Amino acid sequence: MLVDVDRLVTAYYEEQPDPGEATQQVAFGTSGHRGSALKGSFNEAHILATTEAICRYREAQGIDGPLYLGRDTHALSEPAQRTALEVLAAHGVQVRVDSGDRPTPTPALSLAILTWNRDRRDHLADGIVVTPSHNPPEDGGFKYNPPNGGPADTDITGWVQDEANRLLRAGLDGVRRVPAEQAATAPGVERYDYVAAYVEDLATVVDLEAVRGAGLHLGVDPLGGAAVDYWSAIAERYRLDLEVVNQAVDPTFRFMTVDWDGKIRMDPSSRYAMAWLIDLRDRFDVAFANDADADRHGIVTGGAGLLNPNHYLAAMVAYLFGGGRDWGERVGVGKTMVSSSMIDRVTADLGRRLDEVPVGFKWFVDGLLDGSLGFGGEESAGASFLRRDGTVWTTDKDGIVCCLLAAEMTARRGADPGAQYRELTARFGDPAYRRVDAPATPEQKAVLKRLSASDVQASELAGEPITGVLTSAPSNGAALGGVKVVTERAWFAARPSGTEDVYKVYAESFGGDEHLERVLEEATAVVSAALEAAG
């Protein structure tokens, strides 16, 4: 079960991808390019080509400020960072790498970009994060963040992806690089203390004085990821009673409990991956965890155990906009189309604007950047929010501040987030939510991605009239890449996976678990009929 790290890294350098094979090309999904060296989908050639493409994109756009470069703790992240630096140095890019050669969480890199760019109009910074997020140990990932600090949008990733694949087909002809030793000491490569910069700024976004004053006993498991050094620094800087229950960093992640399918994933929203911390829940007032690049959160309380991510997102919105922050009346709430409708009900009760967008955190970037969105969250346990004064914090997901907000909520309300969510269910109902995967051929996935409302022939779902069929987001009209069917008490959404031969069905019902099962059963039938009707 444990990955052979030596074999994996050897494959990274020695295996050559086939640019004519779709599975071995550079492919940017919602969180960058991901793959495994053992499958020919994440090898040195991919990183050389992608970094060269990013350099060419920067030159075309006139981006000539520093590029912040970070990595997580996956085995392929360090060699891929080294490869990227060889290309960046060859182009004379000013690169900022961690001063202690430590892993860098995604939110710390986003903050560094925004800090440099504050009040600037030229010589703007951008960044690269080498991470496959919560993926298994054998995977690698490579993500570009432009000067807005958030995940690159499809216009950028499409250009970079196409240019990188062109370079792969050309045998990397035109890719510039210098030897690793020369790159590490190149004039433009400087050290940057990501830890100090991030930790010092935390008090502007979370009320850590309230947390310390309440005397809460906090527990955190970084799951062997990039946040390990950050949590120790946070505890020391703000004098918190915070225990890091697991400080191990091992590229095999052998200390993890396996996920539902027997694979190792550093997924803080999975009760399987979080089993050890859940068992420790009675030791702490509240406990939490992050994935490998710390852009996701998991919250554990004594009464609720591991909170469903949707439940915590709703509790966060209720707290932040219900008195936790004094933000202007025009500041809205952002959620993805597959996140819980509990967020809709809470937001409506608060009298706030709801921006409902397709899947992907990139849709929240502009709103967080200009302060028109106070909060943006995804059902997959990723979120970020504004500073306490209503200005931008990060424009990428920040699992660390989401964890610390759980402590602030407990300190200031005298009840943990699980108890606060139960208060919401007493007012708005108690929804049941699930996501399941169903097999789909590449052809079926392509059809599902371009479905229109007229392709859904059903008029009822689980005994209720269908009130809406959506293929684009209500707030901005962007394509969902699938379909969402809505009734008064329930909904489901179906969209194809970007990496596997399945489609994902998300469903929720305010009618209980049995009604949810009916929704899921009929959702499969509705999608099958729509696929058949669409040919």
Place of tokens 């994060």: 129
Catalytic residue among 77, 133, 269, 340: 133
CA distance 534 to 385: 40
Residue 466 CA, distance from chain mean position: 31
Please list the residues that pair with 496 across neighbouring strands: 503
CA distance 109 to 260: 31
Question: Are the CB atoms for 145 and 127 separated by under 8 Å?
Answer: yes
Retrieve residue 391's tokens: 């200005």
CA distance 456 to 470: 10
Annotate 390-408 with three-state secondary structure. Answer: CCCCCCCCCHHHHHHHHHH
Q: How far is CA 252 from CA 1, 6, 136, 328, 535, in A?
A: 9, 11, 9, 46, 45
Annotate 427-490 with three-state secondary structure. Answer: HHCCCEEEEEEEECCHHHHHHHHCCCHHHCCCCEECCEECCEEEEECCCCCCEEEEEEEECCCE
Is residue 36 part of the annotated active site? The answer reads: no
Retrieve residue 3's tokens: 């990955």
Strands (E) in 99-186, as ranges, are: 126-130, 139-145
Place of tokens 């910074």: 125
Question: H or E stretch including 195?
Answer: helix 194-201
From the CB of residue 106, how many other CB atoms can be counted at a distance below 10 Å? 31
Three-state secondary structure call for residue 2: coil
Strands (E) in 212-283, as ranges, are: 217-221, 241-244
Q: How far is CA 325 from CA 205, 292, 321, 355, 375, in A?
A: 10, 29, 6, 19, 11
Please list the residues that pair with 307 across neighbouring strands: none
- Work out whether strand 95-98 and strand 126-130 pair parallel, antiparallel, or are unpaired: unpaired
CA distance 140 to 116: 28
Retrieve residue 348's tokens: 């409506």
- Residue 309 burial class via C-beta count within 10 angstroms: exposed 0-12, middle 13-18, buried 19 and up: buried
Q: Catalytic amino acids?
A: 133
